[in-house]
Structure 1
C-alpha cells in the first residue's frame, strides 16, 4: 500500500476532530439530561 502515509496523516487530523465532536455530543447530552430531569 503506497497511501499509508496519507492515511496516517488523515488519521492524525481526524482524531482530534472526532474527539472534540464526541466531547461536545457528550456535554450536550449531559445538559439535556439535566434539563429533562429538572422538569419532571
Structure 2
C-alpha cells in the first residue's frame, strides 16, 4: 500500500511536469505561428 501511494505521487508529479512542458510548447507554437503569419 505504501509503494502504491508513492507510485501515485510520482505519477502525479510526472503528469504535472508533462502538462507544464505541453503548455510551454503550445505557447511557443502559437507565438511562432503569429510571427510567420
Q: Show structure 2 runs of 5+ residues with no match.
A: none
**Ranges of 4+ aligned residues in structure 1 off by more than 6 Å:** none
TM-score (norm 2): 0.74
2:23 maps to what in 1? 23
CA RMSD of aligned residues (A): 1.2
Rg (Cα) greater in structure = 1
Higher helix share: 2
